[in-house]
Structure 1
């Protein structure tokens, strides 16, 4: 069978039958809309509820968020999205194929309206309303019904939300400008109705959640109580599906976790008089606990699956809003049994260890080959990092940043953990996951196991020996060619000696001692903390000796000399303050 056909078959087999049905159904309907066989028209008169509290000042006007948009640039039709700055002709930019699609999507989202609204509220300068009106009018005139990115259900979901929320700020101007008010409301209604008939049930996950958010807001704005009631019920169904029992969003991406939390905060704020309010705040509490547990004193958005800085609101903004509007304060957690994340944290360091699946079985879009990888922050600053997410467009860079070797984990026999392919697909994937927490000879261990898509087993044990010492132990078959990768934040210096590495970063020094290895190499790679921005960084490649099942390394974040010896299947770690032993055969049997 052709290899591409195999990839498709092994991807499609994980989908729900309903996803396949809705993919075909939505595409057929889209063509019928284009041919004017299916139509959506706004009624002659629309009863709207604009004088309502849709805007959440603490979140929509968050200073860090508004810094993304410069009002002078907006007036000049110049925008910086995903680290690409462009001055555009709006009449063509909406659908310009020469512009990166994700950039075009951001233009369609209309998030920059919050900057105009904020400046208008501050100054009452009508120029901000005029620009608001100009941009919305331009979109309506140049995005013909059912054609192009502008009529993708996801862009509708974000744009519709942003149009309706910011219209509250410009209410007085809209009441004086009845022609534009009618144009705005009619277009918003047609988009709302189109979205209702073209929900992303073929994709599900965060896309479908965005659809639900926009539909609930639209139903409140256009006072369609039957639609609101129906989608409040669907919201609860999706929350049960998408928010795992431990509070993590089921796509296992810290970035998308924050995006969904923001959506949930908005929906709950709009539904404060609803019977579902209490249930929604319970989900907010759970998700806020997870966000705080991951990011407090970590110094970055953790890079597991597709995650990048500058897309979602930041931790401080989201948690402040939770407390301000719902009285919710987050709690620290260390074990996330459903999603598979474990956290070590003490005065000097914080480690997040990924023991989870690559993705929900039917939603592989944002999965990366990061099983049993970890990130380490030292004194609140990133130190050992996964490589991140550079772009979504299909191609070598997308493949690179999704690959096993760009994560702090192990590759066996040069085989990827899972078959990540295209922009958003995964065919055969890791399976047979196990995870466990235990104490072994006074060392607290988190451990995990999986089989890669070819059935090759990898076990990893991460032990928290003390505030400054961490041990990482990997188990694969003795005859397997196994490589362990350790990626460092840019500007970290690595000096390799016989059995270890001296590490220097920002006036701090650490060391790494390897064992069970045939060689240690330093290689140059790439780190991307934000979309479309990458930096060179160094990483280590530790090659396992074929005489051993176990290999690994000791990370020492202190200048205290520490000795590591491997003898007769035992590891002995000693310094002036302590002595610890690890019996490898016994350890392996504990998982």
Structure 2
């Protein structure tokens, strides 16, 4: 490793490494957790449960080094092997040695790396489990972190370092040979480039280093152009993989800045756009929402790291998390937490995501593309959080293995959306590929006086013998309740099943809907033709983890175009709900055309008018309770008329 290289930990002398150790010790709880994880691995207990572990495990596997079968998964999921072969846990062990200088950590690092290098030569077989390009890119970053520590606190013999560096050179050539424009839409290539670019800076004296560095930046810019939407979202419809790409991008920029390398302006612009997108979708409590193939993660440290790279401040106000501290390395990094936004309203127009959040509520509505293998069948899905309590939740991912329910967790009936005739609106051939994907249309997001209107539809059921067009309207009110109205446009009979996955194990049927006893919430159906049932099901907050919840299923047989409307609200907030007749030109309108709903609260009333389709007489002013209103989506509050659309 070049002596002038400034790496991830920002430690260029023994003194700065010693100071970095003291800075880490200012996080006693986090250090104890790091030491606990490290001791487990050293003892032969393998459990991948660190922050931002891509595929976490929740059950320990006990293996001594001589027993490890590098290409055989102990839990019948190859993701276990990929986690093992990325070597992120070795960085914990290296830091554990920095903190304690206990020889057991140092010995384990040497023994594990020796065993890995001996048993994992690059060949056609190992390409399936230890030499996948994504894992190679991640692994070399972790090796470079270990060698960065080693420069000023001996971990390895000179001979062992020489062997590691020979392997790093092979890793770099392998990554370089696999760069291509065709692979630019995959998150893999960005993670691989982070590894290749890091090597090119750590070993600038190597003959090919300049070519690696030049190619890294060229293919990085091309890859970002192919996978980052204009609205800043990574194309794969997963917050987790958006953040994984962002993290790799930040690492590249950080190393470039520290080593006086120029980063092309478009690459920095992509980092800023992706950071701002993450600031829009992070929940008010700092958590990453479970959406697509995503886990529930704390985004605080990631967004602090992003702030320090793309929008540094000159005033130190906030303390970095342990994750951010490890990412920044030694030194002071002023933070304002400017990207941990708790109030925003944003429509990702390319991604088809609509999000409104306040410190009190978080609303996510999806009407966008599938996005690829990490996307789910979640068109018209709604997630909702109120007062820091998750009310309506997403299924998560659990596993990428079809035999472990991969397709069931992706399916529409695992989301808060609508299913027609018990059929999926997408058709998948395996865990990653599809042969039919629904087209989302009619996306809208509009706001007025902190009232937010969302709308979307899709053509996923247009291949039925009697095509069905689905359209959902959602109005969220600042008092903390939602009005949900679903329209089904067709000619013949169909079965409509609408799913609501509650973060609750205590859901009771009532005459007008469902009560969530432990969340003190209720779902009220305004459609008398709906039959409501409650079933136990499971969701997956993180990979390999399940959680039991209740799912409300509202079933209805329709005979031609129809509409169903629901209210999701805190119990006791709404005293009375009335559906009022609506007239146009003195003709009473069908509720499938336009409906009016009046809410009575303790001290006020609100009227909502929703137009679902054009009246046969053409659009006119609507008369409700002898007052006239003109618009498609209207709210009347305190005699103030608000036209949202």
Q: Counterpart in 1 of 2:555?
A: 543
Query: Counterparts of 1:410-429 in structure 2 under 5 Å?
Result: 410-429=418-437
Q: Distance in 2 between matches of 1:502 and 1:346?
A: 24
Helix, strand or coil at the partner of 2:516? strand
Paired residue secondary structure (1:481): strand
CA distance in structure 2 between the aligned counterparts of 1:516 and 1:440, rounded to whole angstroms: 31
Match of 1:74 among 25, 31, 41: 41
Q: Residue 611 of structure 2 corresponds to which residue in structure 1?
A: 584
Instruction: Give 1:573 deviation, angstroms.
Output: 2.1
2:176 matched residue in structure 1: 196
User: Aligned partners of 1:485, 1:127: CA distance in 2, in Å?
Assistant: 52
Partner of 1:90: 65
Aligned partner of residue 517 in structure 2, secondary structure: strand
Is the Cα contact below 8 Å between 2:487 and 2:612 reproduced in 1? Answer: no
Match of residue 34 from structure 1: none
Which of 219, 232, 238 matches 2:223?
238
Q: CA deviation at 1:396?
A: 5.2
> Whole-Å Cα distance in 2 between the matches of residues 132 and 531 of structure 1?
27
The aligned counterpart of 1:139 is 116
Q: Distance in 1 between matches of 2:279 and 2:10?
A: 21
Determine if contact 2:345/2:356 at 8 Å carries over to the other structure: no
Q: CA 1:304 to 1:230, structure 2 compared with 1: closer, same or farther past 3 Å? A: same
Contact 1:395 1:422 in 2 (8 A): no
Instruction: Tell me which of 356, 376, 382 is aligned to 1:374.
Output: 382
* Cα pair 1:346 1:467 within 8 Å, conserved: no
Q: Deviations over 1:500-543 (max 9, x none)?
A: 2222225x344433426421111111111011111221111112
What is the alpha-carbon root mean square deviation over aligned residues?
2.9
Aligned residues of 1:441 and 1:581 also touching (Cα < 8 A): no
TM-aligned CA deviation for residue 444 of structure 1? 3.6
Note if 1:55 corresponds to 2:63.
Answer: no
C-alpha offsets along residues 411-462 of structure 1, whole Å, 9 cap, x if unaligned?
A: 1121102112422122211115331124699964111111116544211111
Is the alpha carbon distance of 1:555 and 1:333 closer, same or farther for their aligned partners in structure 2, counting shifts above 3 Å?
A: closer
Unaligned runs of 5+ in 2: 12-19, 49-55, 313-337, 582-589, 620-631, 633-644
Match of 2:211 in 1: 226
- Counterpart CA distance in 1 for 2:551 and 2:350 is 31
Counterpart-to-counterpart distance in 2, 1:109 and 1:247: 28
Note the 1:190-589 alignment, pairs <5 A.
190-199=170-179, 201=182, 204-223=185-204, 224-272=209-257, 273-276=260-263, 278-297=265-284, 300-309=287-296, 314-328=298-312, 329-330=338-339, 332-359=344-371, 364-395=372-403, 397-438=405-446, 444-452=452-460, 454-455=462-463, 456-477=468-489, 479-491=493-505, 493-506=506-519, 508-515=520-527, 517-546=529-558, 549-560=562-573, 561-565=575-579, 567=581, 568-569=590-591, 570-576=595-601, 577-586=604-613
User: Shift of residue 299 of structure 1?
Assistant: 6.6
State the Cα deviation string for residues 390-415 of structure 1 (Å, max 9, x = none).
Answer: 11112251121011100000011211
Q: Give a deviation string over 1:9-55, Cα, whole Å, max 9, x none.
A: xxxxxxxxxxxxxxxxxxxxxxxxxxxxxxxxxxxxxx756842233
Q: Separation in 1 of the partners of 2:572 and 2:423?
A: 37
Whether the aligned pair in 2 keeps the contact of 1:256 and 1:307 (CA below 8 Å) is: yes
Tell me the equivalent position of 1:103.
80
| 1:204 CA displacement | 4.2
What do the CA deviations read for 1:310-367 (whole angstroms, capped 9, x no partner)?
A: 6xxx3111112123344353264522112111112345321111111111xxxx2212
CA gap 1:98/1:296 in 2 versus in 1, 3 angstroms: closer
Q: 1:198/1:585 Cα in 2 relative to 1: closer, same or farther (>3 Å)?
A: closer
Quote the offset at 1:490 in angstroms: 3.8
- Asked if structure 2 preserves the Cα contact closer than 8 Å seen for 1:428 and 1:453, the reply is no
For 1:374 and 1:66, how far apart are their aligned partners in 2? 39
Q: Quick one: distance in 2 between partners of 1:376 and 1:54?
A: 38
Q: Secondary structure at the match of 1:357?
A: coil
Cα contact 1:441–1:582 (8 A) shared by 2: no
Distance in 1 of aligned mates of 2:450 and 2:546: 41
Q: Whole-Å Cα distance in 2 between the matches of residues 216 and 442 of structure 1?
A: 46
Between 128-137 and 510-519, report the one with greater CA deviation. Answer: 510-519
In structure 2, the partner of 1:33 is none
TM-score (norm 1): 0.83
**Structure 1 unmatched runs, 5+:** 1-46
Deviation at 1:230, TM superposition (A): 2.0
The answer to whether the Cα contact below 8 Å between 1:402 and 1:420 also exists between their aligned partners in 2 is: no
Contact 1:174 1:180 in 2 (8 A): no
Matched residue, 2:635: none
Compute the displacement of 1:175 (Å). 8.8
Separation in 2 of the partners of 1:436 and 1:218? 46
Structure 2 CA distance for aligned equivalents of residues 176 and 161 of structure 1: 17
Q: Could you say what secondary structure the match of 2:445 adopts?
A: strand
The 8 Å contact of residues 184 and 222 in structure 2, kept in 1 or not, is answered as: no
**Preserved CA contact (<8 Å) 2:184 2:226:** no
Q: Are the aligned partners of 1:292 and 1:315 in contact in 2 as well (CA < 8 Å)?
A: no
Structure 2 counterpart SS, 1:521: strand
